[in-house]
Every structure is written in structure tokens, then in C-alpha cells.
Amino acid sequence: MALAFDEFGRPFIILKEQQQKTRLRGLDAQKSNISAGKAVARILRSSLGPKGMDKMLQSPDGDVTITNDGATILEQMDVDNQIAKLMVELSRSQDYEIGDGTTGVVVMAGSLLEQAEALLDRGIHPIRIAEGYEMASRIAVEQVEKIAHKFEFGEANVEPLIQTCMTTLSSKIVNRCKRSLAEIAVKAVMAVADLERKDVNLDLIKVEGKVGGKLEYTELIYGIVVDKDMSHPQMPKKIEDARIAILTCPFEPPKPKTKHKVDIDTVEKFEALRKQEQQYFDEMVQKCKGSVLQDVGATLVICQWGFDDEANHLLMHRNLPAVRWVGGVELELIAIATGGRIVPRFQELTPDKLGRAGLVREKSFGTTKDRMLYIEHCANSKAVTIFIRGGSKMMIEETKRSIHDALCVARNLIRNNSIVYGGGSAEIACSLAVEAAADRYPGVEQYAIRAFADALDAIPMALAENSGLQPIETLSAVKAQQVKENNPCCGIDCNDVGTNDMREQNVFETLIGKQQQILLATQVVKMILKIDDVITSSDY
Ligand code: ADP
């Protein structure tokens, strides 16, 4: 494809003959894009809500993932279509920014596209629809702000945070243990939170998992858990008051970077070399443990690299326990937790660079030989580990994703403590407000604004449908109730609790999450509507 200009300077596109077949223009382009977007949303629709279904995805190399998380489903679906990729991107943006609501945002965008299709059929220009959607989204965002509530919580009262995390977890596979997992997530976030600055660094929360045991055995450790063991089986399994040297240099003789050759032609030379090597190891161990000249005094070495058998043996002999092959990220976390410094050269080891931990222990699990290293009672407890147990690798992976969502929700609430009620109640309230506002607009946009209101109804409808209720009947009853009682907390009673009031059911969502959903979905749909030419090279 090439862009050229005619003699009047007007641009035109030159397409090679075989490529012409794959060009779509005008309404055809919009229709085809809309149907691609809708197809993606349709896949996620059945996963929405506490009674939503799970998806099983198999990767080309045979790995199976079972999940309910919208972002993960789309990420692993490996879609080809460009518009479908935009929907994947949409879910990812929600995940990056908010961490939760990834299914809802795609379902909302799908429903906006569906409504737009009907408007296009009625002859309304796509730009008018896009403008109408933009106005409606602003009304909806204002409305959620109006119906939002603030709640107070402090270190002593974290119950509201737990309740909100439970709402997130209730739609996941792990909902059996939602109370305990929500408590763990909130405790972890509170441990690393800076309540004054209203910020939470989630990087300080390590999520580790091990197959075996029950989900109920998942625990929060105020310290770091590393999937490693001591480098020698005879090294101590428990070290109290550990002084830890955190090293990024290998325990081996230095290797020149240029090519080198050592000629050994006599036994003496060999012996000398061996001796020199041993001396070298000896010096390294000495540097960590400390000598008469310099008192470093490390009682544990954590090393990013591996070490020679000879070094390992020597370390054991000199009573200096060591752990090898610890990843860079883990090393950083250990340094933060223990208040130590990462040391790149043995020469730089000094006592003040050592990390401190009250207890370092190795723990074995079940009948396997697998062991993990627990570093606890650290000098600076601002790094914690959530250690997940579960029956299978798939379960652990899904629990990790669910915990991630819960952590994000707790973090968002610490940043901004406004909430709206869930179960589709916020969407119904917005739909009513947008519908009422539509009459105020004299132009063609009012059709688009009304369509936006209808599209918002898709979320409660999907929730009702997925819970085995009659979608239209349930939605109209709830909508009527909201208007009659002037209560924006009425939503879909998915779990058959017996009340529609989401306040009584304690189903909360964050305000910023809901607003982000509306804004992101509108943005993507507007972008799709504005495409009127799809030119695909025939190579694809
Ligand atoms: P997402 O990935 O978008 O968070 P979920 O599958 O987690 O999607 O579903 C979230 C939706 O389910 C939200 O609209 C939320 O309000 C609703 N929801 C969660 N728990 C309940 C509940 N107990 N009763 C009714 N609705 C609920």
C-alpha cells in the first residue's frame, strides 16, 4: 500500500491488485468492526458476577488455565482481529489502572457497540453516535459520583475494606474462602500502606504459592518466603537473629573476560593452582564471616548466583549457611525487609550492609522434598508474603489472580475511600439518570444518549441471566423499585439472599473503578465507531 498525490495535490491510496479484496469501507467497515467487538464481549458475558461461569483455556504448549478473570481470559485467547485486540487492550487498561472490573468493562463496551449498530441501521451518522455517547458518559460519571458513599476506616477498623474485597472475591473460583482471603489481602495492604500519604506499594507484597494443602491453609507471613533451600543439606535449618549478607557476586574464582589459557604440565603446578583456588574461596568466606581485621559477622549468605561444590563444602565447613540462585526481585525484597544492602563485591561487605532477621527457617511440605525458606521478624517488616496453598497448580494460579484483584481493590480504597454499591445497582442508577437527561438534548444525539442508557442495563441483565433469573423481568422490577423508593442501592440479588438492597448485602465496588469502566468503555467504542476504512494487507 502506498500514499500518492495527484496533480492537484489530493492524496490517494494505491493498493496492489491482490490486496484490494481486503478493503472495507464506510458502513461495512463499521459493521464488521462492531461484530468483532461484540463477539469478544459475548465470550466474557457469561463470566460476569458471583454466579458467572469459568473459562478453560489451553495454550499451544498444552498448559491449561481455568479462570474467571476477564483480563486473563482475553490475554490468553490469542486473538487475531485488530478490533478484538482493542477489546483485549481495554480490559488490560482497566487491569493496570484499577485491577478489578475487567470483565464488566468489556461487557459494557460490547453492549454500547450493539446499541450503536442499531442506530447505524436507522441512518444516524457514527460521529453523532460518538458525540452522544461522550455526553452520556459524562452524565453517568457524574451520577456515580452523586450516589457514592464515603466510608471511614482506620487501622483499628478495617471491616469495610474486608467487605469490599469480599465482593471482588465472591465472583471468583476461590469464593469458598472469600472471608479469609479478603482478611489476608487487607492485612497485607495495611502492612505496607502509607496511610498518611494514602499510598500503597503493592510491589512490597510478594505472592508465592505451593501445590499441596488446602486453600484454607493460605497464610500471611510478615517477612519473605523464598522458594529455595540451604545450599547444603547439612547446613542448619533454623537461624535465629540472622545477619544476612545479600550478594550479587558469585562464589567462584574470578574469570577474566578475555580468552586465557593456563598450562599445567606438572603435578606441582596443578597442586599450586588447586591451593590458590582454595585460598580464594577461603578469602571469600572469610570476607563474609569477618576476620580479626574486619568484623563483618554474617551468619547467612543469600547469593544471586550459584556456587561451586568446593565453595559449598567450605561454607558448610566454616559454619556459614548459604542460599543460592535467588532471583533479582526476591533479592530486592529481602534487602527491603531486612534493612540490608545488596552487595556486588566481596570487598564492599561491611557490618552495616548486612540485613537482619529475627528468624530464618527452612520449612518442608508434605511428603515432597520441596523446602522453602522463611525470613521472618525482619528489621523492617514493610514487606510481606501471601503464601497460597491449593490442590493444583491451576488453582494456585487462579488464587494468585484473585488475590491480585483484592489487593488492588484495597489499595484503591486507601487512595480514595468512596464506594458505590454493586450488583448492577450503580449501572441502573446511571441508566435512569442518562435516560432522563436525554430529553434535554434537542439534536440527533438524544438517540445515542438513550442508547447509552440501554447499554448500561446490560450489566444488571447479564448478572441476572448468569444467576438463572429472568433478565428482563428482574431488571424492570429492580428499576421500578429504584424509582419508587428513590434508592440507588437496589441491584440484582444474585445469591438469592432475599433482598435487593446491596447495602444490606454488603456488595461494594470502588467509585474510581466504576468511573474508569464507564470512561474506558466509551472511549474504545468511540474509537471503533470512527474507523470507516479497514485496509488489510493480503499477507494477513
Ligand atoms: P469483574 O472482572 O468485572 O470484576 P466479576 O465477575 O468479578 O467481574 O463480577 C463483578 C460484578 O459482580 C460486579 O458488577 C459486582 O457488583 C457483581 N457482584 C459481585 N458480588 C455480588 C453479589 N454478591 N451480589 C450481586 N452482585 C455481585
Q: Are 453 and 434 in contact (CB under 8 A)?
A: yes
Give the integer Cα–Cα distance in Å for 214 and 397.
14
At residue 402, φ and ψ (nearest 5 deg) are -65, -40
User: pLDDT (tens digit, 0 to 9) for every residue of the chain, 540 residues total?
Assistant: 677 787 777 877 776 665 556 777 778 888 888 888 888 898 889 988 888 888 888 888 888 888 888 888 888 887 888 888 888 889 888 888 888 888 999 999 999 999 999 999 888 998 999 999 999 999 999 999 988 888 777 777 888 888 888 888 887 888 888 899 999 999 999 888 888 888 888 888 999 988 888 888 888 988 888 888 888 888 888 888 888 989 898 877 777 777 777 788 889 988 988 888 888 888 888 888 775 555 678 888 899 988 778 788 888 888 888 898 998 888 988 998 888 899 888 888 888 888 888 899 988 876 667 788 899 888 776 788 999 988 888 889 889 989 998 998 888 888 888 888 888 899 999 999 999 988 888 888 889 999 999 999 999 999 999 988 898 999 999 999 888 888 888 888 888 777 888 888 888 888 988 999 999 999 999 998 888 877 776 655
Architecture of domain 16-150+420-535: Orthogonal Bundle (1.10)
Q: Is position 69 annotated as part of the catalytic site? A: yes
The 3-state DSSP class for residue 368 equals: coil
Does the C-beta of 423 come closer than 6 Å to ligand 1?
yes
- Alpha-carbon distances of 196 from 155, 183, 185, 419, 512, rounded to whole Å: 12, 22, 20, 20, 20
Alpha helix (H) residue ranges in 361-501: 393-415, 425-438, 445-456, 458-466, 471-485
Does the C-beta of 463 come closer than 6 Å to ligand 1?
yes
Choose the catalytic residue: 65, 67, 102, 522: 102
Does the C-beta of 507 come closer than 6 Å to ligand 1?
yes
Q: Is position 103 annotated as part of the catalytic site? A: yes
Does the C-beta of 460 come closer than 6 Å to ligand 1?
no
Report residue 80 CA to chain centroid gap: 23
Full 3-state SS string of 111-145: HHHHHHHHHHHCCCCHHHHHHHHHHHHHHHHHHHH
User: What's the pLDDT at 17?
Assistant: 62
CA of 171 to the centre of ligand 1 (A): 6
CA of 170 to the centre of ligand 1 (A): 7
Q: What is the pTM of this model?
A: 0.80
Start-to-end Cα distance in the chain: 13
Q: Is position 265 annotated as part of the catalytic site? A: no
CA of 52 to the centre of ligand 1 (A): 9
User: What's the pLDDT at 515?
Assistant: 92
Does the C-beta of 376 come closer than 6 Å to ligand 1?
no
What does the DSSP 8-state code read for residue 347? G
Burial of 274 (0-12, 13-18, 19+ CB in 10 A): exposed
Q: Where are the domains of the chain?
A: 16-150+420-535, 226-380
User: What's the pLDDT at 460?
Assistant: 92
Choose the catalytic residue: 65, 103, 385, 510: 103
Cα R_g (the chain), whole angstroms = 30
* Cell 500514499, located at residue: 3
Burial of 241 (0-12, 13-18, 19+ CB in 10 A): exposed
- Nearest CA, atom 9, ligand 1: 49
User: What's the pLDDT at 106?
Assistant: 92
User: What's the pLDDT at 319?
Assistant: 85
Q: Which of these, 388, 382, 419, 440, lies nearest to 509 by C-alpha position? A: 419
User: What's the pLDDT at 472?
Assistant: 92
Give the integer Cα–Cα distance in Å for 19 and 14.
10
User: What's the pLDDT at 519?
Assistant: 93
* Cell 561444590, located at residue: 309
Does the C-beta of 402 come closer than 6 Å to ligand 1?
no
Q: Is position 102 annotated as part of the catalytic site? A: yes
125 residue type, one letter: H
Fold for the domain defined by 226-380: GroEL (3.50.7)
Query: Ligand 1, residues 463, 475, 504, 506: which to mutate, most atoms within 8 A of Cβ?
Result: 463
Choose the catalytic residue: 69, 100, 229, 493: 69
Give me 514's grid cell: 466504576
492 Cα nearest atom in ligand 1: 25
Full 3-state SS string of 146-175: HHCEECCCCCCCCHHHHHHHHHHHCCCHHH
The 3-state DSSP class for residue 363 equals: strand
Strands 199-200 and 193-194, bridge-based pairing: antiparallel
How high is the ipTM of this complex? 0.96
User: What's the pLDDT at 292?
Assistant: 52
Query: Ligand 1, residues 48, 405, 408: which to mutate, most atoms within 8 A of Cβ?
Result: 48
CA of 463 to the centre of ligand 1 (A): 8
Does the C-beta of 49 come closer than 6 Å to ligand 1?
yes
Query: Ligand 1, residues 172, 403, 456, 507: which to mutate, most atoms within 8 A of Cβ?
Result: 507
Does the C-beta of 509 come closer than 6 Å to ligand 1?
yes
Q: Are 68 and 54 in contact (CB under 8 A)?
A: yes
Does the C-beta of 99 come closer than 6 Å to ligand 1?
no
110 residue type, one letter: G
User: What's the pLDDT at 1?
Assistant: 65
CA of 497 to the centre of ligand 1 (A): 15
Does the C-beta of 70 come closer than 6 Å to ligand 1?
yes
